């Protein structure tokens, strides 16, 4: 017997209450839309492809999940019956928080009433009770397992492969490592209702593990290529114009050198100072914006971390509880083996005898102690007396120390009071000065406050106020018009939507009416067809009928028998006719007759039923046409009204841009007026701010005086403190001496008392020895009692331990397996949540890092401005000194004895300065000209870490010159060439590896297609199709062609070339390169440029495997051959297209089955699109498919092609609107020849 899935039962699952559907062979499910066909098909799909993802069942994201839909109650079940090499099995699937399942092995010949398993008195049983009922009828069972993945492993025989396991006896298939492809293919066939190149490619690609599936990340590739190309071009441009760079460096140095000699640099310095201050304000604004962005991103990350933390915390709590339970259960198991419970019970029985021993030893000890009790008491009194004496001496010493402490504290208090009085007397003068200063400072503060109030009250001038008010009123009016237009537009949209709703409602109502007519007529037609089927069964002659017997035995008088015997007797099969030679028989024939009625009556009745069926079909068609006509008339009227509303809305939409334009103009006008008013207001504020600054300076001056007075007071306070510190140290020294003296006396007296106590103890022991009572003996007895009591306590402790094991530990040990499974699932969820969190955090961290990088750049620029500002101020101060010296020389001319010398000095200085300035201007012009030339020649200077001049100030050109000089001196060009070559090598090797991977997988897919082609070569059983061919073609994708070309160049030049990739692109290092290798580098760079353009025109971020090849079909139908094409539509008739699609699907599924499962097994193919096929052609498809061990489970609204199926179930909904349930009724059941045998 072949391994196969036999039946599926749904209990309280989906819309089914209890339905068992036999899927042994081909099965047709018919019924109206929404009757439950898809629900059952998905239940079958779950068996072959266990998953809980909505996408794997074609369930929309906004609909109920598979788990919640199929298991809405604790008493919801899916039950699968299947046969494997070991016999008949059931697998019960249910949900208790998570998906769980258990396997049961059943005797092959045992009849089971499933309703008795699942129900008692009409109530559905809980899972524990259901499993207990199964246990009664099963010969073996598995543990309960958790999760769809585990279900799949056991069904496909994977669980027992890696370790010794009994689970392989529950496997339906003995599959290999490719077992996932079976369920994946069945799923893809079910979900893809069409077949074209894309759907076949999707099926083939999905059979490759997602981790192994190649995919080129185009965005990363383009960034890498563009980065290389831009750097290479920038290096070439810079190298070409190296002379200009050297000239810039020289002009910069000449300009700076000459400026150090000139004496009117002051104005330039002042201008530069103002520029830097302005740039600092701009930078501050940009940094503020970045800080705001940083805050938003930080908040986003904090929210993400909080959510992840909450989820993680919840999962950790659940995990912690399970860890604790598992750890506790493991400890209990360990304790059970390590702590010998039986031995402890034996010890517990000895407690009574041990207690008796304790009592006897205690009695012996009391007798011995009683003899010397009185004498021992006298010695104890002496010891007590000595201890009291010792305590009195200690108390006396404490009193003396306390007296000394009180005297010391009193002395300290007197010193503090004296010190404070002296400080107060000497600081009165400072306080008086301070009061005067504060008074003056308060006057300036009041003046400062008045100026501030005046600054706040500064307003716009009246002319600007009126203009702003008028513009605002105009703007409000325009916005009100815009709001009214928007409201009207929205109202029209709502009206249009309402009309559309009416159309939809009428369409639904029409469809509902037609469905009701179909339902009503189908019920009547079904009854008629049932009667027709019954009559046909009576009319058709059977080999076992009486008429066949007469014909077969060539009875002599059969015509006379036909004329006198009723038709029902002639067609009857159970008359047991026999030929005999007796005169009292009917022409030598003996039969058992117990029938009535005639064949003609049956034929007449059959004709009546067929006429009724045809009449009902015509009535149904005329009613449907009438309803559709009325519906169309009403819908046309609504559509006309909707068109009118659309026209009104279109007119409104045309007016909106004009309104927006007018609003924009008024807003710009308002901004302009506000800006003018703001400038006027700022002028007034500037004057007040200058006055406020002067007042503030005066306040600060008085504040400085107050600080000076406070400093003098602190100095005075320090002097007085040092003076009195000596007195305090002397008093502390006296106190320490008294304490040491008292402690020495106390130690001496304590020692005397301890010696007396020791002497008494010696005399006590001698007395006990003389009386024959040794302390050692008493101690031994006490020790024995202590040991025995300890044993008793220990043994009594065992009782609690044994009870704990029985009533507390054993139940937890039993649950250890379930807890371990739940822990594995929680860990898996934690890993998944962590991966999602890490991805999100990575994106946010990248954004934050980018913001921080930009902010650091701004900070660095600002720090440069700060340093430069200091330098400018220093130069400015130096320049002022030079100008002052000239002024001094001019003033001294009148009083100097040598006027001609002074005049000559000034004139010479001025001539020198004029000549120097002319030379400086020449250097400056050369510098500016050459900088402009260089940056016109270099397209992307930032790739060379060179920043062009940000403005036209000389300081910017000098900065550029300094950057270029540093670039030349440090030979940065060589470093950039190495970086660029490294980029070229990495990109080439990476792309070569990726195209190799793509070509490898494309080759594997081509081999798969060859196997599919082989599977559909023999179509001798399909009369309408002569031949189906399928082939793989190389993709015309430009990206793929460029990648292939890149790999070819790389492979043609060999491994030696790989080590020196890219070096031929740069003239600076290509001296040792051959012309052939240089040519290869240049060819690869051309490919890089082409690849960058191809990626830019591509509309996706990645190049997936299914884009790297094309699949084409060619079909020959009735000697009419189609061309090669990428779809199967329009090959022939609609039915022919469907046949071809099904044949290709089946061949793919058969190939997957052969490669994954070595045994002879049956599997199911779930295909819906069969309504366009004739019964003859579909019968041929079924025969072709069944020969491959594949059987159909199909769902369709109408009852067609039923003759081609072994089982036919009619599905229908019954019950109230909100509580409808699906009922499955078996219409047809055919017995296979195997079953008859």
Alpha-carbon gap, residue 337 to 632, rounded angstroms: 84
**What is the reported pLDDT for 1041?**
86
More confident residue, 959 or 709: 959
**What is the reported pLDDT for 558?**
62
The structural domain count of the chain equals 4
pLDDT at residue 696 greater than cutoff 80: no
Cβ burial of 576 (10 Å; 0-12, 13-18, 19+) is: exposed
pLDDT at residue 927 greater than cutoff 60: yes
**What is the reported pLDDT for 597?**
42
- Are residues 925 and 1064 both part of a single domain? no
Q: What is the DSSP secondary structure assignment for residue 1216, as one 8-state letter?
A: -
Residue 68 domain-assigned (yes or no): yes
Cβ distance 833 to 315 under 8 Å?
yes
**What is the reported pLDDT for 372?**
56
Residue 203 domain-assigned (yes or no): no
Alpha-carbon gap, residue 648 to 641, rounded angstroms: 11
- Are residues 1141 and 1096 both part of a single domain? no
Residue 1184 domain-assigned (yes or no): yes
In terms of average pLDDT, the best of 53-67, 736-750, 914-928, 1122-1136 is: 53-67
Q: Interior CA angle at 493 toward 489 and 494, to 5°?
A: 120
Residue 25 domain-assigned (yes or no): yes
Q: How many CA atoms lie within 13 A of 757 on its CB side?
A: 15
Alpha-carbon gap, residue 1115 to 623, rounded angstroms: 42
- Are residues 907 and 1022 both part of a single domain? no
CATH of the domain at 1173: 3.40.50
- Are residues 1101 and 1024 both part of a single domain? yes
Q: How far apart are the first and last CA of the chain?
A: 13
- Are residues 953 and 907 both part of a single domain? yes
- Are residues 598 and 672 both part of a single domain? yes
Average pLDDT over residues 291-307: 80
CATH of the domain at 647: 1.10.287
- Over residues 1054-1073, the pLDDT tens digits come to 655 566 677 777 765 555 55
Measured CA distances, 863 to 290, 604, 867 (Å): 17, 110, 6
- Over residues 482-519, the pLDDT tens digits come to 788 888 877 877 887 787 788 778 877 877 777 777 77
- Over residues 376-418, the pLDDT tens digits come to 666 667 667 767 777 777 777 777 777 777 777 777 777 677 7
In terms of average pLDDT, the best of 161-175, 351-365, 861-875, 988-1002 is: 988-1002
For residue 159, what is the enclosing H or E element? none
- Are residues 1001 and 923 both part of a single domain? no
Cβ distance 902 to 889 under 8 Å?
yes
DSSP 3-state of 337: helix
**What is the reported pLDDT for 1176?**
66
Look at residues 719, 934, 963 and name the one whose alpha carbon lies nearest to residue 243.
Answer: 934
Structure tokens at 430: 């400072």
Residue 102 domain-assigned (yes or no): yes
Domain that holds residue 545: 465-740
Average pLDDT over residues 251-255: 82
Instruction: Tell me the Ramachandran region of residue 554: left when phi exceeds 0, alpha when psi lies from -120 to 50, beta otherwise.
Output: left
pLDDT at residue 441 greater than cutoff 50: yes
pLDDT at residue 212 greater than cutoff 80: no
pLDDT at residue 265 greater than cutoff 50: no
**What is the reported pLDDT for 1236?**
39
Q: What is the DSSP secondary structure assignment for residue 513, as one 8-state letter?
A: H
Alpha-carbon gap, residue 1019 to 1002, rounded angstroms: 27
pTM above 0.85, yes or no: no
Confidence of residue 541 (pLDDT cuts 50, 70, 90): low
**What is the reported pLDDT for 83?**
92
**What is the reported pLDDT for 734?**
67
Confidence of residue 258 (pLDDT cuts 50, 70, 90): confident
Structure tokens at 135: 């246990």
- Are residues 1137 and 1063 both part of a single domain? no
**What is the reported pLDDT for 1235?**
42
Helices (H), 350-372: 351-371
Structure tokens at 790: 């300890």
For residue 809, what is the enclosing H or E element? none
- Are residues 187 and 60 both part of a single domain? yes
**What is the reported pLDDT for 1056?**
54
Report the Cα 1076 to chain-centroid distance in Å: 50
Residue 383 domain-assigned (yes or no): no
Look at residues 508, 500, 504, 489 and name the one whose alpha carbon lies nearest to residue 641.
Answer: 500
Q: What is the mean pLDDT of the chain?
A: 76
**What is the reported pLDDT for 234?**
84
- Are residues 699 and 736 both part of a single domain? yes
Report the Cα 618 to chain-centroid distance in Å: 58
Q: How many CA atoms lie within 13 A of 124 on its CB side?
A: 13
Least confident of 1-5, 380-384, 634-638, 666-670: 380-384
Look at residues 920, 926, 942, 972 and name the one whose alpha carbon lies nearest to residue 248.
Answer: 926
Which phi and psi (to 5°) does residue 948 adopt? Answer: -65, 165
Residues near 528 by Cβ (< 8 Å), separated by ≥ 6?
609, 610, 612, 613, 616
- Are residues 563 and 703 both part of a single domain? yes
pLDDT at residue 1233 greater than cutoff 80: no
For residue 1165, what is the enclosing H or E element? strand 1163-1166
Look at residues 1144, 1142, 1112 and name the one whose alpha carbon lies nearest to residue 1127.
Answer: 1112
- Over residues 314-356, the pLDDT tens digits come to 877 877 887 887 877 777 777 766 766 657 656 666 676 777 7
pLDDT at residue 1017 greater than cutoff 90: no
Alpha-carbon gap, residue 985 to 1060, rounded angstroms: 9
- Tell me which of 700, 722, 740 is where a domain ends: 740
- Tell me which of 719, 740, 761 is where a domain ends: 740
DSSP 3-state of 1071: coil
DSSP 3-state of 72: coil
Measured CA distances, 1004 to 250, 832, 997, 1010 (Å): 65, 32, 11, 10
**What is the reported pLDDT for 124?**
93
Cβ distance 10 to 38 under 8 Å?
no
- Are residues 26 and 113 both part of a single domain? yes
Structure tokens at 32: 């109206």
pLDDT at residue 27 greater than cutoff 50: yes
pLDDT at residue 94 greater than cutoff 90: yes
Residue 768 domain-assigned (yes or no): no
**What is the reported pLDDT for 898?**
46
Alpha-carbon gap, residue 1147 to 196, rounded angstroms: 15
Report the Cα 552 to chain-centroid distance in Å: 78
In terms of average pLDDT, the best of 628-637, 777-786, 1151-1160, 1184-1193 is: 1184-1193
Residue 1173 domain-assigned (yes or no): yes
Look at residues 994, 963, 1091 and name the one whose alpha carbon lies nearest to residue 228.
Answer: 1091
C-beta atoms surrounding 702 within 10 Å: 19
**What is the reported pLDDT for 533?**
66
Residues near 1077 by Cβ (< 8 Å), separated by ≥ 6?
1053, 1057, 1060, 1063, 1064
Cβ distance 1048 to 1180 under 8 Å?
no
Look at residues 48, 27, 86 and name the one whose alpha carbon lies nearest to residue 1159.
Answer: 86
């Amino acid at each position: 017997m072949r391994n196969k899935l036999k039946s599926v039962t749904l209990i309280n699952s989906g819309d089914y209450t209890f339905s068992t559907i036999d899927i042994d062979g081909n099965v047709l499910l018919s019924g109206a839309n929404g009757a439950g066909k898809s629900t059952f098909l998905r239940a079958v799909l779950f068996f072959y492809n266990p998953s809980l993802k909505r996408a794997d069942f074609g369930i929309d994201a906004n609909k109920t999940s598979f788990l919640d839909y199929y298991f809405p109650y604790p008493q919801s079940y899916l039950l699968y019956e299947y046969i494997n090499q070991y016999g008949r099995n059931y697998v019960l699937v249910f949900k208790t928080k998570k998906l769980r399942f258990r396997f049961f092995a059943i005797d092959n010949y045992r009849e089971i009433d499933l309703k008795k398993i699942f129900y008692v008195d009409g109530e559905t049983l809980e899972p524990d009770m259901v499993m207990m009922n199964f246990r009664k009828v099963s010969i073996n069972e598995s543990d309960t397992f958790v999760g769809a993945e585990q279900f799949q492993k056991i069904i496909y025989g994977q669980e027992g492969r890696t370790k010794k396991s009994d689970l392989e006896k529950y496997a339906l298939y003995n599959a290999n490592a490719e077992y996932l492809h079976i369920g994946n293919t069945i799923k893809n066939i079910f979900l893809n209702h069409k077949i074209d190149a894309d759907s076949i490619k999707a099926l083939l690609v999905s059979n490759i593990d997602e981790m192994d599936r190649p995919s080129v990340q185009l965005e990363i590739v383009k960034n890498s290529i563009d980065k290389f190309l831009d750097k290479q071009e920038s290096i070439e441009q810079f190298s070409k114009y190296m002379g200009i760079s050297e000239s810039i460096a020289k002009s910069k140095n000449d300009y700076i050198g000459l400026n150090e000699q000139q004496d009117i640099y002051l104005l330039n310095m002042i201008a530069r100072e103002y520029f830097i201050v302005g740039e600092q304000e701009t930078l501050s604004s940009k940094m503020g914006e970045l800080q705001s962005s940083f805050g938003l991103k930080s908040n986003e990350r904090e929210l993400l971390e909080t959510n992840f933390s909450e989820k993680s915390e919840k999962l950790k709590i659940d995990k912690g509880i399970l860890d604790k339970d598992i750890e506790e259960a493991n400890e209990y198991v360990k304790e059970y083996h390590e702590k010998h419970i039986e031995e402890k019970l034996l010890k517990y029985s000895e407690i009574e005898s041990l207690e008796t021993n304790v009592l006897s030893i205690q009695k012996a000890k009391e007798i011995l102690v009683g003899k010397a009790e009185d004498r021992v008491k006298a010695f104890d009194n002496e010891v007590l007396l000595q201890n009291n004496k010792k305590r009195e001496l200690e108390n006396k010493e404490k009193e003396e120390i306390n007296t000394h402490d009180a005297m010391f504290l009193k002395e300290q208090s007197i010193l503090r009071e004296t010190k404070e009085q002296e400080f107060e007397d000497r600081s009165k003068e400072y306080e008086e000065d301070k009061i005067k200063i504060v008074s003056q400072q308060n006057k300036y503060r009041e003046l400062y406050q008045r100026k501030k109030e005046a600054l706040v009250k500064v307003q716009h001038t009246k002319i600007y106020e009126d203009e702003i008010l008028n513009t605002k009123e105009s703007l409000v009016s325009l916005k009100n018009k815009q709001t009214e237009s928007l409201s009207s537009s929205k109202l029209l949209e709502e009206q249009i939507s309402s009309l559309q709703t009416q159309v939809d409602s009428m369409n639904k109502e029409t469809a509902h009416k037609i469905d009701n007519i179909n339902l009503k007529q189908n019920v009547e037609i079904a009854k008629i067809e049932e009667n027709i089927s019954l009559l046909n069964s009576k009319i058709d002659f059977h080999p076992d009928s009486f008429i066949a017997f007469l014909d077969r035995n060539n009875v002599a008088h059969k015509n006379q028998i036909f004329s006198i015997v009723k038709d029902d007797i002639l067609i009857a099969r159970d008359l047991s006719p026999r030929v005999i030679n007796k005169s009292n028989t009917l022409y030598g024939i003996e039969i058992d007759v117990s029938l009535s009625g005639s064949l003609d009556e049956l034929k007449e009745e059959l004709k009546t039923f067929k006429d009724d069926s045809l009449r009902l079909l015509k009535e149904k068609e005329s009613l449907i046409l009438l309803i559709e006509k009325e519906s169309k008339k009403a819908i046309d009227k609504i559509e006309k009204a909707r068109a009118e509303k659309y026209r009104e809305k279109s007119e409104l939409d045309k007016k909106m841009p004009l309104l927006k334009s007018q609003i924009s103009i008024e807003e710009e006008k308002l901004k302009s007026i506000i800006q003018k008013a703001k400038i006027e207001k700022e002028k007034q504020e500037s004057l007040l701010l200058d006055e406020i600054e002067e007042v503030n300076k005066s306040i600060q001056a008085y504040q400085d005086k107050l600080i000076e007075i406070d400093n003098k007071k602190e100095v005075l306070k320090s002097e007085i403190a040092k003076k009195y510190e000596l007195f305090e140290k002397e008093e502390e020294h006296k106190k320490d001496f008294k304490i040491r003296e008292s402690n020495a006396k106390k130690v001496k007296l304590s020692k005397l008392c301890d010696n007396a106590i020791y002497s008494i103890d010696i005399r006590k022991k001698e007395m006990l020895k003389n009386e024959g009572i040794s302390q050692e003996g008493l101690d031994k007895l006490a020790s024995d009692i202590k040991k025995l009591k300890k044993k008793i306590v220990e043994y009594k402790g065992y009782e609690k331990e044994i009870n704990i094991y029985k009533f507390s530990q054993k139940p937890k040990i039993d649950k250890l397996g379930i807890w371990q499974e739940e822990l594995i699932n929680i860990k898996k969820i934690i890993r998944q949540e962590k991966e999602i969190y890490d991805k999100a955090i990575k994106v946010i961290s990248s954004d934050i890092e980018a913001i921080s990088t930009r902010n650091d750049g701004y900070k660095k620029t600002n720090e440069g401005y700060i340093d430069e500002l200091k330098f400018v101020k220093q130069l400015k101060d130096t320049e002022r000194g030079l100008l002052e010296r000239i002024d001094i020389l001019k003033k001294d001319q009148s009083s100097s004895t040598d006027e001609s010398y002074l005049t000559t000095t000034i004139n010479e200085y001025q001539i020198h300065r004029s000549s120097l300035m002319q030379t400086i201007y020449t250097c400056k012009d050369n510098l500016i000209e050459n900088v402009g030339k260089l940056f016109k020649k270099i397209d992307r200077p930032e790739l060379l870490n060179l920043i062009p001049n940000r403005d036209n100030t000389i300081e910017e050109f000098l900065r550029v010159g300094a950057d270029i000089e540093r670039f030349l001196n440090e030979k940065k060009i060589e470093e950039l060439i190495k970086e660029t070559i490294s980029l070229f090598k990495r990109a080439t090797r990476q792309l070569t590896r990726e195209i190799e991977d793509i070509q490898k997988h494309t080759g594997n897919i081509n081999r798969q297609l060859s196997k599919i082609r082989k599977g559909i070569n023999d179509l001798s059983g399909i009369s309408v199709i002569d031949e189906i061919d399928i082939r793989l073609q190389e993709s015309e994708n430009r990206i793929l062609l460029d990648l292939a070309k890149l790999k070819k160049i790389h492979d043609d030049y060999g491994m030696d070339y790989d080590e020196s990739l890219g070096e031929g692109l740069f003239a600076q290092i290509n001296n040792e390169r051959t012309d052939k290798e240089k040519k290869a580098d240049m060819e690869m760079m051309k490919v890089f440029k082409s690849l960058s353009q191809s990626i830019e025109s591509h509309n996706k971020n990645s190049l997936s495997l299914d884009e790297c090849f094309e699949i084409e079909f060619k079909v020959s139908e009735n000697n009419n051959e189609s061309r090669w094409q990428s779809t199967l539509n329009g090959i022939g008739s609609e039915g022919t297209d469907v046949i071809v699609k099904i044949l290709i699907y089946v061949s793919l599924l058969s190939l997957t089955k052969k490669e994954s499962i070595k045994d002879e097994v049956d599997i199911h193919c779930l295909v819906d699109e069969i309504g366009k096929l004739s019964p003859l052609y579909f019968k041929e498809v079924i025969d072709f498919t069944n020969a491959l061990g594949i059987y159909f489970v199909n769902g369709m609204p109408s009852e067609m092609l039923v003759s081609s199926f072994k089982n036919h179930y009619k599905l229908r909904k019954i019950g109230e609107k909100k509580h409808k349930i699906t009922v499955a009724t078996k219409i047809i059941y055919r017995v296979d020849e195997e079953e008859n045998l």
